[in-house]
Amino acid sequence: MARNITTAFKNAITSKVVRPIMAVELDFSDGVLKMWNGYGDLTMTAGGSSKTFTGQGDLLNISDIEESSTLSMSGVTLTLAGIKSSLISTALSAGYTNRNGAIYLGLFDASRNVIADVYTIFKGKMDVLNIQEGHETTVITLKLESRLITFEKPANRMYTLEDQQVDFSSDLGFEFIPDLQDKEIIWGKKTN
């Protein structure tokens, strides 16, 4: 698959010393959470716009990101530890199911400047969030599902006038559907 990366990014990723940055953007119902795997705030261009990510340092794990030449649906699991209590309360109270999430890969140069442009390695929808409280730390695990998973979901729509008018209130295209249910249609022979 072709990659849209800048020459500077390509040179940095193929050099002898590689300084990677992993950043995560999660769209919770009460605000977008942006964090990266270092300390302090970091501003970089990710997903097409300039964004400031908060350093979490303890962004423990991002599961393997699988890629296939077929339309397969593989998800990613994010694991965070040493989380502030404000983030835990957000995780407990905010809506997250079926909301957007993205994972970015960036690189530092030798002077600790972010090399343009940060690459989006995964975009999907937040699915399952688990919180495990221990004696010394709390671990949050969040599953991001591929956007292709929507192809497996049933449409849950009906070919009825009422269902059509949910989206298009003046459309009467399905008005005569109930009359067709027991209608005898004579096809291919002469009628009176």
pLDDT in tens, 54-104: 887 656 678 877 766 666 567 888 887 766 666 777 777 778 888 899 999
Task: Please state the rounded mean pLDDT for residues 172-181.
Answer: 84
What integer best gives the mean pLDDT of the chain?
A: 80
Q: Is the pLDDT of residue 2 over 60?
A: no
| Closest to 120 measured CA to CA, from 14, 22, 12 | 22
What ranges do the domains of the chain cover? 7-151
Q: What pLDDT does 135 receive? A: 74
Q: Is the pLDDT of residue 190 over 60?
A: yes
As beta bridge partners, residue 140 has 80, 131
Percent above pLDDT 90 for the chain = 4
Task: Please state the rounded mean pLDDT for residues 7-36.
Answer: 86
pLDDT band at 151 (very low <50, low <70, confident <90, very high): low
Q: What pLDDT does 56 receive? A: 78
Q: What pLDDT does 1 receive? A: 45
Residue 40 or residue 74, greater confidence = 40
Tell me if residue 151 falls in helix, strand or coil: helix
Task: Please state the rounded mean pLDDT for residues 117-127.
Answer: 86
Q: 70-73 — which CB contacts under 8 Å span 24+ positions? A: 71/148, 71/151, 72/148, 73/145, 73/146, 73/148, 73/149, 73/151, 73/152
